[in-house]
Amino acid sequence: MAQHPNHPPVFPLHEQLPAAMILAGVGGYMDAFSYLLHGNVFSSLQSGNVILLGIHLARGQWASSGHYLLPLAAFYLGAFFITLLAPYVHKPGQRRTHIIGVSIEIIILLLTALFGARLPDTVVIAMMSFTAAIQLSVFRKMKGQPYTTTMTTGNIQASAAYLANAALGTSTLAGHRSWDRIAVALGFGLGAFLSASLVPLLGQHAIIGGAGLLVIVLILLLREKPELTA
């Protein structure tokens, strides 16, 4: 982030609201896609998978429990992988980790479009969960503040807290931050809506829409000026 005396802070493109909404849209898009086409399993919303895993275990449905356990393991592996990789690709003043992370996401989603129909549901979900973990690990800030792109609970809670702070007059930026979090939650929902609309038309190939959204983010990253990413 570049900041100069008497000037408001200037945030990199990928931390600004449009990019944050697109990334959240990808999160909602992937979850809706995996839920509709691959056995009612979430690819990024791991809390949902933990709940479903617990329900199946409580019912004694041991065989189907693995359907929810594998996405959790893949998500864990994705977070581990990108965190391990980051120190080796990081370069001051650039967003190489972000660029590599988004590129990996795009490749995996395109592979899902090409081969997903011939792969078991558990493998497809694992691929997408790995992707979601990379996104959650890499894109953690919007306008310098923490947020999430693969779930909405934290963003909605933060919006309410910021709105309360705005009402109390404790922060001049609280009102704007409250709106930003609601907008990101809206982006997540719109991504799910778009995915659910395209799945009946395109089937497995509908995931290309998620890859297309990530291409927009990749273009924004490539356009960022080095001095804004120090």
Tell me the CA distances in angstroms from 148 to 27, 43, 158, 209, one per residue in order. Answer: 9, 15, 11, 20
At residue 59, the pLDDT reads: 84
For the chain, where are the alpha helices, taking DSSP H only?
Answer: 17-37, 46-58, 62-89, 96-115, 121-138, 153-168, 174-202, 208-223
User: How far is CA 54 from its chain centroid?
Assistant: 24
Ranges under pLDDT 50 in the chain: 2-3, 5, 228-230
Q: Is the pTM of this model over 0.85?
A: yes
Neighbours of 123 (CB within 10 A): 16
Round the average pLDDT of the chain to a whole number and report it.
88
